[in-house]
Structure 1
Amino acid sequence: MNWDWEKLRENQKKYEQRQGGGPGMPTPPQMDDLLNKFKGFKFSGIFFVAIVIIAVIIATSTVFTIDRSEVGVIQRFGKYNRLAQPGLNFKWPAGIEKVTKVNVREIETEEFGFKTYNGEGSFRASPESSRQEASLMLTGDLNVAVVPWIVQYRRADPRAYLFNVKDVRSLLRDMSEATMRITVGDRSINEVISSRAEIANAAQKMLQREMDNAKAGIGIVNIEMKKTNVPEPVQASFNEVNQATQEKEQTIYRAREEYNKAVPLARGEAKRLIKDAEGYAIDRVNRAQGDATKFKAIYDEYVQAKDVTRKRMYLESMLEVLPKLENKYIIDSDQKNVLPFLNMGAKLSGQTLGKGE
């Protein structure tokens, strides 16, 4: 590039004259020169975008909202600091404080032994090998049972849920399986099949106690046992055993029914006979005592007046005997013409009764 030195010198002279200086004198920078220099400098759009982004990041990282079913766990430099309740909250910018939202009201479900799929309002079980192994359990009477169940829980303590246990879900599944195996192992196969509600309540209490000991921040809401059965290879044999057991129980029930009918009847009859015998004995004793008292009274009267008492006794005896006789024949003891005949009361027809008639 060729420079126009004459033109440059001319411009310099004009500049010195305008400033009132002479040759060799330094000239201070003027406002026009500065403006001209700044006019040549252009601000980049990236600089403004960066400033806006930084401002937005700072604003959004300091203001946050918590849903009504959640709780915010705030950490300051990685250490737990406080809990944020539902609503609008503030914190220090990102890098200083961090918030983790934990849903404390939603009830979650863990399934063991099966997996459900919701399709058009219906649920169906889809067994898998790992789930089947989890549901195979040994009962107290050394039988194998298929015990599917579900565990419903919620995050009761957000701080403990986040910081005390590394993998809360794995701990919950392992402890649930161990708890259910202990509970089922204390009962027979029939109890496991028929007493599912009782087993579920016992397992819930035990599981909650174990989760509290682990400080996992989990609250067990409910444990529900699904249909319990035996493995398919032994299903037929198990049904036969159940049928035989039911027949045995029916036979015992019928025998007890007959027993309850016959034994009370026999006991009642025995008591009746005993009461009759006791009444008869009392009657005989009372009669004997009465007869003895009567005889003694008569004897006392007889001793005092023998003739009168003897006649009275005779008359009373005849008064008792005579009404019982059908035909009565009264004969004077001084009568000499009447011969005595046998069978005087018999009816004779067409025959004479004796000589002298």
Structure 2
Amino acid sequence: MKFKFVVFIVIAVVAAVYFMTGIYQVDPSQVALVKTFGKYSYTTGPGIHIHAPYPFQSHVIVDVQTIRKQEIGFRTIRPGQYASRKEEALILTGDGNIVSVEAVVQFRVNDPVKFVFSVERPEELVKFTTESALRERIAKRTVDEILTAERDRVAYEVQEMTQ
């Protein structure tokens, strides 16, 4: 009799733990993308939520409020200390000169479903897209234009192209 009671308690605890795998919390700056059998089903906002336990449903939490940044031409080692990345920084201008460009790209996740499920490494995609747009815009201008009057225009055009 005592053995059956212990077995029942163990099974009840295991079942409770299993069903608790479906409980999750989403912070105020995040959303959760719920997947049913690995396919996206729906999005939930901040708060405590429940879905069917694994393997039936799972979730991916995405921070949609934080502004992410990508550095082009340099890397921050620690605040106030930077390391140059020459392979990214050197760009050929339209008049045949080479300029060293360092830029910071800031972005926020607008569509978390596409951000998570459509692209394998989305941060790298943003970096490469911005770098490509920057090279294209600089290649159409002279070094004098880039360093003086056209600098803000280039930044605006790159932002528009990247978006």
The two structures have a TM-score, normalised by structure 1, of 0.43
Q: 1:100 aligns with which of 50, 53, 60?
A: 60
Q: 1:199 aligns with which of 147, 150, 154?
A: 154
Q: Is the 8 A contact 2:94 2:142 kept in 1?
A: yes
Asked if 1:48 is matched to 2:9, the reply is yes
Counterpart residue identity of residue 207, structure 1: T
* Separation (CA, whole Å) in 1 of partners of 2:146 and 2:5: 77
Residue 67 of structure 1 and its aligned partner are, at CA, apart by 1.0
**Residue deviations 1:200-236 (CA, integer Å, cap 9, x gap):** 111000111xxxxxxxxxxxxxxxxxxxxxxxxxxxx
Other-structure match for 2:107:
153
Residue 174 of structure 1 and its aligned partner are, at CA, apart by 1.6
* Separation (CA, whole Å) in 1 of partners of 2:54 and 2:3: 33
DSSP 3-state at the match of 1:201: helix
Aligned length: 162
Other-structure match for 1:76:
36
Q: 2:122 aligns with which of 156, 163, 168?
A: 168
DSSP 3-state at the match of 1:126: strand
In structure 1, stretches of 5+ residues that fail to align are 1-37, 209-357
Counterpart residue identity of residue 83, structure 2: S
DSSP 3-state at the match of 2:42: strand
* Separation (CA, whole Å) in 2 of partners of 1:126 and 1:152: 19
Asked if 1:181 is matched to 2:141, the reply is no
DSSP 3-state at the match of 2:74: coil
In structure 2, stretches of 5+ residues that fail to align are none
Asked if 1:67 is matched to 2:24, the reply is no
The within-5 A match list for 1:164-313 is 164-194=118-148, 195-208=150-163
Give RMSD over aligned pairs. 1.9
Counterpart residue identity of residue 109, structure 2: R
Residue 172 of structure 1 and its aligned partner are, at CA, apart by 1.7
**Residue deviations 1:91-136 (CA, integer Å, cap 9, x gap):** 11221111111100011111111111334xxx12212xxx211111
Normalized per residue, which structure has more strand? 2
**Larger Rg belongs to:** 1
The within-5 A match list for 1:10-159 is 42-43=3-4, 45=6, 48-58=9-19, 60-119=20-79, 123-127=80-84, 131-159=85-113
Normalized per residue, which structure has more helix? 1
Higher relative contact order (CA 8 A, sep 6+): 2
Counterpart residue identity of residue 15, structure 2: I
Residue 89 of structure 1 and its aligned partner are, at CA, apart by 1.9
The percentage of counterpart residues that share the same residue type is: 30
* Separation (CA, whole Å) in 2 of partners of 1:90 and 1:53: 18
Counterpart residue identity of residue 57, structure 1: Y
DSSP 3-state at the match of 2:21: helix
